[in-house]
Chain A
Amino acid sequence: MISLLWSITIVSLLATLIISVYGIVAKPNLVKKLIALTIFGDTANVLVVLLGYRVIYPVKPPILPELSKRALGEFVKTAVDPLPQALVITAVVIGMAVNILIAFAVIQIYRIYGTLDVREVGKTLPELLRREEA
């Protein structure tokens, strides 16, 4: 039963990854592309955290409960792997900053071209350049 739940978790995360890649590629709207990209990033982060998880009971966070050497053995037996969490903490905040950068670019594109559709933007840009030449 536990292995079924575990495999459902992993497979549904992988399905979310695939759907979000589809969203990035297939949706013409830039905002929808950005939303799909954030879903992709968050799913990847959850997968990395899952790498360090232990399917045991009880499972504890990787923080020493008391500052004595006696508790250390029990602590190592129950704590989850801290390394994936440490890597994900930075990835989350950096991901937020990079998403803000992309959102700024999308807003500026909307202000200049008046549209968010990548096909329209692709048509408008050559027109604008030609008008400069004439």
Chain B
Amino acid sequence: MKRLTGLLTILIITLGVAIYLAQNIIPPENLHPLGEYYLENSYFGEHSAKSPEVVTSILWDYRGVDTLFETAVFFLAIIGSLTIFRLNREQSEEAKQGEPKPQLPEPVVVVTKLTVAMILAVSASIALHGQLTPGGGFQGGSALAVAPLLVIAAYTKYALEKNGLDKTRAIIIRSIGLLGIALTALTPLLVSGYIMQNQPIFPGEALGVPLGGSLVLYNLFEYLAVGAGFTAVFLLLSIPEEKFKKFLGVRR
């Protein structure tokens, strides 16, 4: 009852403020001049990124350095998570010992197999068509990270490790992605451009498909980095609690 009163109070106050503000507020109907500039220039303009997807061209071209440092924040957050759960060599060997046995009924396991294949295809499509349709490296990578999570839930993490995707490999794939982003950002310096320059150094289209210059490369590498980074974290997170308590020497 007390909780309900609090909720009702919040609701009434919110509605009251909203009705009061509605007299003065005007919903925005026009673009900001900067947004209009990006919309006009993304494909046709003088400062073009050769990509019809305006969000991706802002993300990796107009505001590219911003995204580069966001990727650095992502890198540090994943490194921090890996450091908190750090294991030495014997401990990580022991964490891999276990039976890859499905824990759920048969239909769930079969459906998971199909779903994982579909998620891999969809996430690759999201990432690699990032310069043409909604999507890109970040979104595709997040979708990719769902696949190992499903496998862990249906088959336990030992199934992933027995098939060759352990924590070290995931970190290596992530490092390849981050290295690719750094190299693509530095490539224009070789031909006396500036950092993260896109046009006219990278090809604008291939076989009649707009590539958006370097956008497709950045999307591919970000896809690998985000997907594999989250996979490494999920693998650590799925180590059973008893094993971790043993490693830490906690009695409780």
Contacts and interface: CB of A to CB of B under 8 A. Distances in A.
Interface of A: 2-4, 6-8, 10-12, 15, 19, 52-56, 61-64, 67, 69, 72, 75-76, 79, 81-83, 85-87, 89-94, 96-98, 100-101, 104-105, 107-108, 111-112, 114
A64 B52 contact: yes
A33 B13 CA distance: 25
Nearest to A85: B55
* B interface residue count range (under 10 / 10 to 19 / 20 to 34 / 35 or more): 35 or more
Contact of B245 (A3, A6, A10, A111): A111
A7 B21 contact: yes
B39 A6 contact: no
Interface string B83-125: 0110000000000000000000000000000000000000000
15 contacts: A7-B22, A15-B13, A52-B32, A62-B53, A62-B55, A63-B134, A64-B54, A67-B43, A76-B40, A79-B54, A82-B55, A93-B138, A97-B73, A100-B233, A108-B85
B29 A54 contact: yes
A10 B78 CA distance: 33
Interface in B52-82: 52-56, 58-59, 63, 66-67, 70, 73-74, 77-78, 80-81
Nearest to A99: B77
A93 B141 CA distance: 9
Nearest to B42: A64
Interface string B1-41: 00000000010011101110111011111111011101110
B35 A100 contact: no
B31 A8 contact: no
Interface of B: 10, 13-15, 17-19, 21-23, 25-32, 34-36, 38-40, 42-44, 52-56, 58-59, 63, 66-67, 70, 73-74, 77-78, 80-81, 84-85, 133-134, 136, 138-139, 141-142, 210, 226, 229-230, 233, 237, 241, 244-245, 248, 250, 252
A54 B27 CA distance: 7
Contacts of B74: 93-94, 97
A97 B44 contact: no
A86 B35 CA distance: 11
A45 B244 CA distance: 35
Given A19-B10, A100-B81, A4 B22 contact: yes
